[in-house]
Amino acid sequence: MSRTVIVGSVAAALLIFAAQIDVARGAPCVTACTDEVAACVSTECAGLVKRPLRRCRHQCKKSIVQDCFADLTVCGATTARPVRPASSGGGGGGGGGMPMGGW
Tell me if 62 is assigned to some domain: yes
Tell me if 96 is assigned to some domain: no
Q: Which residue has the higher pLDDT, 41 or 77?
A: 41
Question: Which 3 state secondary structure label does DSSP give 79?
Answer: strand
Tell me if 2 is assigned to some domain: no
Share the mean pLDDT of the chain: 73
pLDDT at 54 over 90: yes
Cβ atoms within 10 A of the Cβ of 33, count?
A: 23
Question: Which 3 state secondary structure label does DSSP give 42?
Answer: helix
Closest CA to 73 of 15, 17, 29: 29
- The domain containing residue 43 runs over which residues? 27-81
State the DSSP code for 28.
B
Look at 15-29, 41-55, 61-75 and tell me which has the smallest mean pLDDT: 15-29
Tell me if 93 is assigned to some domain: no
Q: What are phi and psi of 20, to 5 degrees?
A: -70, -35
In the chain, how many domains are there?
Answer: 1
Average pLDDT for residues 16-33, to the nearest whole number? 61
Tell me if 12 is assigned to some domain: no
Tell me if 53 is assigned to some domain: yes
